[in-house]
Amino acid sequence: MNSRPALPPLREVIATHGLAASKALGQNFLLDEQLLDRIAAIPGPLQDAAAFEVGPGPGGLTRAILRAGARLVAVERDRRCLPALAELELAFPGQLRTISGDAMAVDARAEAGDGAHVIANLPYNVGTPLLIGWLSADWSPLPWWSSLTLMFQMEVAERIVAQVGSNHYGRLAILSQWRSDARIAMKVHRSAFTPPPKVMSAVVHLTPKPAPEGVQIKYLERLTAAAFGQRRKMLRQSLKGLPGALDALEVIGIDPQRRAETVSVEEFVAVARVLGS
Ligand code: SAM
C-alpha cells in the first residue's frame, strides 16, 4: 500500500510558490504526469537506482523519477523552487536531496555517485555545455553515469544523433557517439510545455559503451574543431593548421580531398588515435 500523502497538482504548486516562468533560466515546465512518467521510464527500471536531475523547477519530472523509486539528487538554480522541492523531500522520505546552485559548478559524480542515471529537462542555455561535460568525464572503461536521458530543443537533439553525411552531422554527433549509443527516445510537442517554447523538443537517450583504446578526447576535440570549423572545405585545407593531422589522414588512408561531413565517427577516432600516438 502506498501511504504517501497526496501531492497538489503542479499548476497549484506553481501558483502557490509564485513560479512564473523565467526566460533567462530557460524555464519551460512540463505538467502532464503521464508524459513525465514516460520520460522517467526511458532509462529502464529505477527502483533503488541513483539518479541525478538538473533543474527540477516545480518538480514535475522530479516526482516521476521519485515515483519510479530512484534515489535522486537534484540541482536547481532558482531559489523560488526550493520550498516546492522541500515538500517533495517530505513526500518521498529519504529519496530526494536538493542542492541549491548552478549545475555547471556542481560535481555531479561526487553528489550523485557512480552508476547514477542522469535525467533532465535541461535549461536551453546550459544543456549543451552540461552534455559535453558528462561526455568528457573520465571513462575507465565506462563513465560514472549509467545513462543520460535529456530533453533538448529538437535541433540540438538532431545534432547529437546525426549520422555521417547528414546536415546535422558535426562535432556534437562525434563527441556524443564515439563511445555512446545515442538515440531520440521521444519527440515532445511544444504545446506540452508551460509556457510553450518556440520550437519542438526531443528526449535523447545516451548509453555508454567502452571507450576505444588509445584515443584521448583532447585529440578528438582538436581534430573535430578544426575539421568542422570549415566544414565545407576539404580536409587538406581545414586541417592544415593542426600539427600532424594531414600525416595522420595518410596513415589511416583517408583522402584529404574529402570534407569533414563525409568522415565517419570511426574514421575520426582512428585519426585521433594516430594524432595522439
Ligand atoms: N524539470 C522541470 C520540468 O521539466 O518541468 C523544469 C525544466 S526547465 C526547462 C529548466 C530548469 O532548470 C528550471 O527550473 C531552471 O530554473 C533550472 N536551471 C536553469 N539554469 C540552471 C543551472 N545552471 N543549474 C541548475 N538549474 C538550472
Q: What is the pLDDT of residue 2?
A: 54
Residue 125 CA: nearest ligand 1 atom is: 20
For ligand 1, the distance from its centroid to the CA atom of residue 59, given in whole angstroms, is 10
Banded model confidence at residue 234, pLDDT cuts 50, 70, 90: very high
**Exposure string for 66-90, b = 16+ CB within 10 A, e = fewer:** bbbbbbbbbbbbbeebeebbebbbe
* CATH H-level, domain 217-275: superfamily: rRNA adenine dimethylase, C-terminal domain (1.10.8.100)
Supply the DSSP symbol for 260: G
Average pLDDT of the segment spanning 270-277? 95
pLDDT tens per residue, range 95-106: 999 999 999 999
- CATH 3.40.50.150 segments of the chain: 10-208
Contact 145, 107 (CB under 8 A): no
C-alpha dist (Å) from residue 40 to 33, 61, 78, 236: 10, 7, 22, 45
Q: Is the CB of 25 under 6 A from ligand 1?
A: yes
For a pocket test of ligand 1, which of 82, 96, 106, 121 has the largest count of ligand atoms closer than 8 A to its C-beta?
121
Q: Is the CB of 77 under 6 A from ligand 1?
A: yes
Banded model confidence at residue 231, pLDDT cuts 50, 70, 90: confident
Question: Hey, whose CA ends up nearest to atom 6 of ligand 1?
Answer: 57
pLDDT tens per residue, range 15-32: 999 999 999 999 999 999
Cell (9 digits) for 11 = 499548476
For ligand 1, the distance from its centroid to the CA atom of residue 25, given in whole angstroms, is 7
Average pLDDT of the segment spanning 124-148? 94
pLDDT tens per residue, range 235-272: 999 999 999 999 999 999 999 999 999 999 999 999 99
Q: What is the pLDDT of residue 1?
A: 46
For ligand 1, the distance from its centroid to the CA atom of residue 54, given in whole angstroms, is 6
- CATH 1.10.8.100 segments of the chain: 217-275
What is the CATH code of the structural domain delimited by 10-208?
3.40.50.150
